[in-house]
């Protein structure tokens, strides 16, 4: 028998948790690399390590946290204590990343690396249990889709709000370190609202079933590898998240050095994430008619075409370049909306199937791997873009110095923003095509599992 509908307060409370997901994924990806190279005078090669290594830690931390939350026994349930822990640690640690003392070069890089490592761990404490919750709050696939629609609606708001406002605050003091300190405090406040809202808003959410967690770590990893739909979806999602990370990291450089105005990063970002709010309901509606896999394939196509077209921007007259670039990024944004929403909806399907087949509560394991892949991919995107800058000969500076970049550095800025993301999206398409857990097949498999257990 299907689970009863969830209270609207649970829909809204769970959705508000995406203020955390959207802000933490967006703001560091958009401004951290530029903050290091153009404010703290950290070389592009060192900056690549600073933005990548703390997130690489998530590959180990996230599955471990997921396993711990699977085994948690509490009157608050297995996941909500972790949401509260995230509320107590993430806002402060995130703000600390941009509250650097008056350092530059190597000293600044070390401070930011340590602070970002702490913040990334605090984010994992919140995010891994948070992503696992929909598969456990209801057995109804339609109710899970409704939960995801609330989550994605708030995700779009969070990405648009944090991504548009954070650079504006950072530039409010002339692009100096003081502006970035104000930005860190403001975004930390937004993270506090999201974490507390998710913790308080899900207090009436039921836990469907008391399933046993997987045992040893080796067994848990083997279980994830044996889940073919999850493995294919995971590979596709990671390959599509890396280009998103690349374009977020590249936007400030593209605005400053290709379009000629650092302030152009705000309209660029609005063009990227504005379609997220407008088209996400359309992707949800289309997925119900055409299937999630087909729509994810189409979304990746939009992303690929828009990103590749950006490469022509420097060839256009200066009067047309900005408008053309904004249009291309808007096409990318249409695809980005689908590649954000659809994989998470498909993930809940793979978790529901695994729970039904295995009879064990191990959603935390899968979501731990998933969020590790997501955060690593976004960090890899920033790191890859930094390496492209370094290979092109990009020269770092502090906010008081304007450096004239070489032609190879300018070319690297454009290629990293366009052709490289397009190529990576293309690599993801075979994994999407091979994913075969359609809605019809999932319904049939779940029905067969229930019949076999009676």
Torsion over CA: 54, 59, 62, 67 (sign):
negative
Is residue 115 scored above 50 in pLDDT?
yes
% of the chain exceeding 90 in pLDDT? 32
Return the pLDDT at 211: 46
Is 370 part of any domain?
A: yes
Taking only the tens place, the pLDDT of each residue in 24-77 is: 988 888 888 889 888 888 888 888 888 888 877 877 777 778 777 777 787 887
Looking at residue 30, which CATH number applies to its domain? 1.20.1250.20
Is 168 part of any domain?
A: yes
Q: Which of 99-113, 120-134, 203-217 has the lowest mean pLDDT?
A: 203-217
Distance CA 426, CA 240 (A): 9
Taking only the tens place, the pLDDT of each residue in 236-282 is: 999 999 999 899 889 889 998 999 887 788 888 888 877 877 887 78
SS3 labels along the chain: CCCCCCCHHHHHHHHHCHHHHHHHHHHHHHHHHHHHHHCECCCHHHHHHHHHHHHHCHHHHHHHHHHHHHHCCCCCCCCHHHHHHHHHHHHHHHHHHCCCCCCCHHHHHHHHHHHHHHHHHHHHHHHHHHHHCHHHHCCCHHHHHHHHHHHHHHHHHHHHHHHHHHHHHHHCCCCCHHHHHHHHHHHHHHHHHHHHHHHHHCCCCCCCCCCECCCCHHHHHHHHHHCHHHHHHHHHHHHHHHHHHHHHHHHHHHHHHHCCCHHHHHHHHHHHHHHHHHHHHHHHHHHHHHCHHHHHHHHHHHHHHHHHHHHHHHHCCHHHHHHHHHHHHHHHHHHHHHHHHHHHHHHHHHHHHHHHHHCECCHHHHHHHHHHHHHHHHHHHHHHHHHHHHHHCCCCCECCCCCCCCHHHHHHHHHHHCHHHHHHHHHHHHHHHHCCCCHHHHHHHHHHHHHHHC
Return the pLDDT at 223: 66
Return the pLDDT at 447: 66
Residue 210: pLDDT band (50, 70, 90) is: very low
Mean pLDDT value of segment 412-424:
94
Mean residue pLDDT of the chain comes to 83
On whether the CB atoms of residues 72 and 118 are closer than 8 A, the answer is no
Is residue 296 scored above 80 in pLDDT?
yes
Distance CA 301, CA 246 (A): 17
Is residue 288 scored above 50 in pLDDT?
yes
Return the pLDDT at 322: 92
Is 228 part of any domain?
A: yes
Is 216 part of any domain?
A: no
Is 95 part of any domain?
A: yes
Is 134 part of any domain?
A: yes
| Torsional class of 260: left (φ above 0), alpha (ψ -120 to 50), beta (otherwise) | left
Return the pLDDT at 1: 46
Most confidently predicted of 54-58, 111-115, 171-175, 343-347? 111-115
Is 241 part of any domain?
A: yes
Q: Which domain holds residue 185?
A: 8-202+222-453
Distance CA 166, CA 270 (A): 12
Residue 208: pLDDT band (50, 70, 90) is: low
| Torsional class of 366: left (φ above 0), alpha (ψ -120 to 50), beta (otherwise) | alpha
Please, what is the end-to-end C-alpha distance for the chain in angstroms? 13
Return the pLDDT at 282: 87
Write b or e for each residue in 405-421: b if 16 or more Cβ atoms lie within 10 A of its Cβ, otherwise e.
Answer: beeebbebbbbbbbebb
Taking only the tens place, the pLDDT of each residue in 323-332 is: 999 999 999 9
On whether the CB atoms of residues 428 and 239 are closer than 8 A, the answer is yes
Q: Work out how many domains the chain is built from and give that number.
A: 1
Return the pLDDT at 400: 60
Is residue 287 scored above 80 in pLDDT?
yes
In this predicted model, which residue has the larger pLDDT, 22 or 299? 299
Residue 453: pLDDT band (50, 70, 90) is: low
Closest CA to 161 of 33, 281, 273: 273
Mean pLDDT value of segment 151-169:
82
Taking only the tens place, the pLDDT of each residue in 336-356 is: 989 988 888 888 788 777 777
What's the pTM? 0.74
Is residue 394 scored above 80 in pLDDT?
yes
Mean pLDDT value of segment 98-108:
82
Return the pLDDT at 249: 86
In this predicted model, which residue has the larger pLDDT, 440 or 102? 102
Return the pLDDT at 203: 83
Distance CA 312, CA 273 (A): 21
Q: Which of 253-257, 397-401, 404-408, 447-451 has the lowest mean pLDDT?
A: 447-451
Is 188 part of any domain?
A: yes
Return the pLDDT at 167: 84
């Amino acid at each position: 028998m299907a689970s009863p509908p969830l209270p609207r307060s649970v829909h809204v409370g769970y959705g508000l948790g995406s203020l955390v997901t959207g802000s933490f994924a967006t703001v560091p990806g958009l401004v951290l690399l530029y903050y290091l190279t153009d404010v703290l005078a950290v070389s592009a090669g060192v900056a690549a390590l600073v933005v990548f290594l703390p997130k690489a830690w998530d590959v180990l931390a996230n599955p471990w946290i997921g396993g711990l939350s699977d085994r948690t026994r509490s009157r608050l349930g297995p996941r909500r204590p972790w949401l509260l822990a995230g509320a107590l640690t993430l806002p402060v640690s995130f703000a600390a990343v941009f509250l650097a003392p008056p350092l530059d070069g190597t000293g600044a890089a070390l401070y930011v690396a340590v602070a970002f490592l702490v913040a990334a761990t605090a984010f994992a404490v919140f995010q891994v249990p948070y992503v696992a919750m929909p598969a456990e709050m209801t057995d109804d696939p339609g109710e899970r889709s409704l939960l995801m629609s609330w989550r994605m609606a708030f995700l779009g708001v969070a990405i648009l709000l944090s991504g548009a406002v954070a650079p504006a605050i950072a530039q409010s003091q002339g692009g100096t370190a003081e502006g970035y300190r104000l930005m860190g405090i403001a975004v930390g406040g937004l993270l506090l609202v999201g974490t507390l809202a998710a913790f308080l808003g899900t207090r009436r959410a039921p836990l469907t079933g008391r399933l046993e967690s997987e045992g040893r770590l080796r067994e848990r990893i083997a279980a994830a590898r044996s889940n073919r739909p999850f493995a294919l979806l995971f590979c596709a999602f990671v390959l599509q998240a890396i280009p998103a990370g690349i374009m977020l990291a590249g936007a400030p450089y593209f605005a400053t050095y290709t379009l000629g105005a650092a302030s152009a990063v705000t309209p660029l970002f609005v063009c990227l994430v504005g379609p997220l709010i407008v088209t996400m309901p359309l992707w949800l509606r289309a997925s119900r008619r055409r299937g999630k896999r087909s729509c994810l394939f189409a979304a990746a196509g939009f992303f690929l075409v828009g990103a590749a077209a950006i490469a022509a921007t420097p060839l256009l007259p200066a009067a047309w370049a900005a408008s053309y670039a904004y249009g291309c990024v808007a096409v990318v944004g249409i695809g980005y909306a689908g590649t954000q929403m659809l994989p998470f909806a498909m993930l809940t399907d793979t978790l529901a199937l695994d729970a039904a087949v295995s009879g064990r509560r191990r959603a935390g394991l899968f979501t731990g791997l998933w969020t590790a892949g997501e955060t690593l991919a976004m960090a890899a995107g920033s790191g890859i873009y930094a390496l492209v800058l370094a290979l092109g000969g990009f020269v770092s500076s502090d906010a008081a110095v304007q450096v004239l970049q070489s032609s190879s550095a300018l070319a690297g800025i454009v290629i990293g923003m366009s052709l490289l993301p397009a190529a990576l999206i293309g690599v993801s398409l075979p994994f999407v095509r091979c994913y075969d857990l359609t809605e019809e097949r999932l319904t049939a498999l779940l029905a067969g599992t229930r019949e076999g257990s009676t």
